[in-house]
Amino acid sequence: MKIVSEKNNSLLHRKEILVLEDFESNPGFVKAKEFVAEHYKVNQDCIVILAVRGGFGTSSFSIEARVYDSSENKIAIEPKPRVKKEATA
């Protein structure tokens, strides 16, 4: 695991990281979250994966993530998912 950048944002109680790692195939958001949680030794509820990008023809993937100090901080800061309105007939 190669940490490209790690910024500690104390105002928002989180670390903003960019990591390079080799995988057999695209890890996806779930496997990337497990990988980051294992490395930083935090619960998976405290992590938000923003992007998983891979280069064409390589097994190297960059993972952009936010690691919060607690799940309460994550819930307070991260935007809530939108709820779609039901169509009226």
Q: Return the structure tokens found at 60.
A: 């190297």
pTM of the model: 0.83
Instruction: Identify residue 28 by its one-letter amino acid code.
Output: G
Which pLDDT score is estimated for 73? 92
- Report CA torsion sign: 22, 26, 55, 36: negative
Domain spans in the chain, listed from the N-terminal domain onward: 2-77
44-62 residue pLDDT tens:
999 999 999 998 888 999 9
Residues in the chain: 89
Q: Return the structure tokens found at 55.
A: 């280069």
**CATH class of the 2-77 domain in this structure:** alpha beta
